[in-house]
Amino acid sequence: MRLSSPTWKPLRPTRNGSGLLFLALLLPALATAQEPVEPPSAYQQEEERPGPGLDTEMDAEGAQAEALERADTAGLSRRAGAQIEEIVVQARKRDEFLEDTPVSVTALGPETLIAAGVTRIDQIQNLVPNLSIVGDPSGQLGSFIVRGVTNFPFVFFDQGVGVYVDGVFFSRNAGNLLNVVDVAQIEVLRGPQGTLFGKNTVGGAVSVTTVQPREELEAYAFVRAGSFNTIDTRATLNVPIGIGPLEDELFLRLSFGSFQDGGYTKNEFREEYASDRGSLSFLGSLRWVPTEDLNVVINGSYEKSHSRGPGGQCVWVQSVATSIFLPDGYREECEASQPFRYASDVHSVSDLESSGVWGIFEWQAGDLWALEDLAVKLTSSWRTQTPRTRSDWDMTSFPVFTQAQFGGGPTDGEPGFQQQIQQELQLNGTALDGRLTYVGGVFGFWEKAEQDTSLVVFPGTPVEALGTSRGMVDTDNWNWALYGQATADVTDWLSVTGGLRYTQEKKGLERVLLEPLNADPLVVDVSNDETFAAWSPMASIAAQAPDVWLDAMTLDHLMGYFTYARGFRGGGFNGNARSEQSAVPFQPEFVDSFEVGLKTIGFDRKLNMNLSVFYANRSDMQVPQIVTESCPPNDPDCLPSADVLITNAASANTRGFEWELLTRPIEGLQLSGSVGYTRARYDEFANAENAITGDPLDRSGEQIPFFPEWQTHVALQYSFEVRSPGPDWLAGWITPRVDWTFESTTINFAPELTPLTQPSYNLVDVRLSYDFADDSNQIAFWARNLSDTAYFKDTFALQTPIIGSAVRYYAAPRAFGVELSRRF
């Protein structure tokens, strides 16, 4: 962000990466001499994802043959299938070529993730059009926003974009900011995915696929160091277990990741750094292949993060404070706060433990009566999360606002706990000599969550107890669904798809709010449950251009499609309610989406281009808004309160497009880019409130917050050979890369909170990598945010009606580093 005052200049942290010397000392260990190889179009940890079937490795001839066979099955011309890169997605829960899938989807493989420096999943937002990922004051919860479908990190509020790992649904924000460890592919699906992925995908879905254990002994090691004392490491070991009768049947894969840095914002009051990262990740997989038709994989994961959370800049919003208890000098200190230098009296903490086990059973059953190539897949999972947080909501040295879910004291609340169990049985196959392809299944999901939040206003002062509250929320939910979707090839060039899902869910909530010094200390004590049900249909038509058209346009493949899809976000109860009258249910939100798209491969497979245009209607829109409860007249001891309540108060429409391009015009040169545009406006929102004063306000026609209208990304890289005058092992390929990202203005919370509006900004990242000729070693130098742009990645304003200020949390300033990786 560029601030309007020309005389203001933010202070920058000067802590440099001490790990750079450590990495330089490792360089001589990069090994063995080999002959020069072709330029590295993909230096990555793993081979490309396999296609249908159980084999995870094959030689080049076998892979090409399979690509040709699958191209015919998918509807691509044989000519196109032989030439395009094998990018396989599971956007429709079956393996298909990306360019033949009538869904707006971006697929990010290991090559792209490494080149873009992605170590945590929220860093992909610059690579995907019409995707934003925002955090919260704890720094551990991520809200994924696609095509303007916004989210809030509440345990009782369903997300609008589903996050999945190997088909396992991550229903809550806690634990969804995944470290990128041993990832085969990340797919971002835009638009409602309610038929195949279920509720809470009104905006889209993010599907992460991990690497399955493979048949060969192999290993991978990665070390990255840089500014702010950054040291990131990743290591993977793949071992075939040849024990007696299990030889060639049992395979083990273990992965580890450590991500550490010292933080880039300084709390000058406590003389400590925040906005740091300390995270450990473990992923283990055991794969058993007793026959060529059976594949069983058991996965286990554990992640633990510990940090001080994000440091933020206090910004003054109101001209006059609403609280008579606000200490003298508070406003002056708030206005003196800077993006990377602040003063806070709170020892902030952000901890999260997340673990899970999931199993995948796949059986290639073959032909059964009229069904062909029948495949059965069973996914079972169990996951838990334990968050512990303590945050300063005012970000000043004055004792004003402290929020905690930590434990250890009467004002610290207790750590949260969340648990989810999932079962899904899925059938895949074909019929009518391959002209009908289908997928169907049954889905079941159970979840519980406990949250105990202590909110202390003016701690350490004589009026502390007036604002001290203890809010407890327990949720107990389940849902089940039946779904089916089928694609019929009407002709060789035309296919139609139809699908339907029925979902039933039960939401249960218990809410207890204690305020000890009130006349009635037990302010809220309610227990509610309600059952919701919905149908989620979809239909699409896709047409392949004939060869005559392709020849005339110098294209290898051209597909056009039209898709209608309906999705819904589950209903629930207001777990933030500060009165029993507010703890009322809100109903499900529905989205009807219409999308037209083109997917193209052209110029002898030198260019891939995808375009989608969409329009969506949102009804019964769930709107979280700040609601202020004013004090009675002549009550000087009253402390006004503010709730964030969710109501079905609005309807809206969104329209826009995504355009993505990948081209390799000459050997070694690659240009990729994307443009996303989303115009999201409220159609009707008459019963809103001013986020500062609480006065009635009509927001009809306003832009939906937390999402920019325009997002652009361009990446340019060129690989050229470097011959060694000395040892052969020094020969290799050098690849410079430049990434440019643009985002237009983003309104956060509400337009009247003008200090929270993020102006448009540009980012530039650079990377210079060297791939040794053995094709196993790489060294790279990188710089993030080269222009040192100051922009904030999150904001917070729930305290604004009470104390008149808000908080801006800035993204990291310019940083440099180096990384080494080796495959064994």
Contacts of 771 (CB under 8 A, 6+ apart): 40, 43, 719, 732, 733, 734, 735, 777, 778
172-196 average pLDDT score: 92
Q: What is the pLDDT of residues 453-474, one digit of tens each?
A: 888 877 666 555 555 778 889 9
Which residues have C-beta within 8 Å of that of residue 90, sequence separation ≥ 6?
Answer: 96, 187, 207, 209
The tokens for 744 are 């237009």
Read off the pLDDT of residues 222-235 as tens digits, 9 standing for 90 and up.
999 999 999 999 99
Q: Please say if the pLDDT value at position 10 is more than 50.
A: no
Res 75 pLDDT > 70? no
- The arithmetic mean of pLDDT across residues 188-206, rounded, is 93
Q: In the structure, what pLDDT confidence band is assigned to residue 150 with cuts at 50, 70 and 90?
A: confident
3-state secondary structure of 698: coil
Q: Which of 257-266, 387-396, 640-649, 660-669 has the lowest mean pLDDT?
A: 640-649
How confident is the model at residue 638, as a pLDDT? 55
Alpha-helix residue ranges (DSSP H) falling in 40-115: 60-74, 78-83, 110-115
Question: So what's the pLDDT on residue 455?
Answer: 83
Residue 724 pLDDT more than 70? yes
Give the pLDDT confidence score for residue 87 in this predicted structure: 84
Element (H, E) at 756: none
**635 vs 734: which has the higher pLDDT:** 734
- What are phi and psi for residue 480, nearest 5 degrees? -140, 160
pLDDT grade for 62, boundaries at 50, 70 and 90: very low
Closest by Cα among 784, 817, 782, 823 to 24: 817
**DSSP secondary structure, 304-334, as one string:** EEEE-----EEEE--SS-S-TTPPTTHHHHH
pLDDT number for residue 41: 42
What pLDDT sits at residue 552? Answer: 85
Question: What is the mean pLDDT of the segment spanning 302-316?
Answer: 93
pLDDT of residue 65: 39
- Given a cut of 80, whether residue 24 has pLDDT beyond it is no
pLDDT tens track for 419-436? 999 999 999 999 999 899
pLDDT of res. 238:
96
Confidence at 631, pLDDT banded by 50, 70, 90: low
Residue matched to tokens 């206003």: 457
Say what the pLDDT of residue 517 is. 61
Least confident of 284-298, 307-321, 328-342, 618-632: 618-632
pLDDT of the residue at 694: 77
Q: Is the pLDDT of residue 39 over 60?
A: no
129 confidence band (pLDDT: 50, 70, 90): very high
Range 743-756 average pLDDT: 93
100-111 residue pLDDT tens: 999 999 999 998
Residue 269: count other Cβ atoms within 10 Å of its Cβ. Answer: 16
Q: CA 390, 395, 397, 398 torsion: positive or negative?
A: negative
36 pLDDT more than 50? no
Q: What is the pLDDT of residue 538?
A: 96
Q: What is the pLDDT of residue 215?
A: 92
Q: How confident is the model at residue 475 (pLDDT cuts 50, 70, 90)?
A: very high
* Structure confidence by residue, pLDDT tens digits, 248-258: 899 999 999 99
What percent of the chain clears pLDDT 90, i.e. is strictly above it?
Answer: 58
Q: Residue 86: its pLDDT value, please?
A: 67
CB 257 within 8 A of CB 179: yes
Q: How far apart are CA 363 and CA 379, in angstroms?
A: 12
pLDDT for position 681: 93
pLDDT at 368: 85
User: Is residue 486 pLDDT above 90, yes or no?
Assistant: yes
Q: Give the pLDDT of residue 463.
A: 58
pLDDT attached to residue 2: 30
Give the residue among 636, 641, 694 at the shortest CA–CA distance from 324: 636
Burial of 671 (0-12, 13-18, 19+ CB in 10 A): middle
| Cα(673)–Cα(84) distance, integer angstroms | 18
pLDDT (mean) for 195-218: 93
pLDDT value at residue 23? 36
The two structure tokens encoding residue 657: 């497009």
| Mean pLDDT score, 413-423 | 91
| 8 Å CB contact between 192 and 565 | yes
Torsion of CA 212, 125, 310, 200, to 10 degrees: -70
Indicate the average pLDDT of the chain.
Answer: 84
Asked whether the predicted pLDDT for residue 657 surpasses 90, the reply is yes
Please give the pLDDT value at position 735. Answer: 95
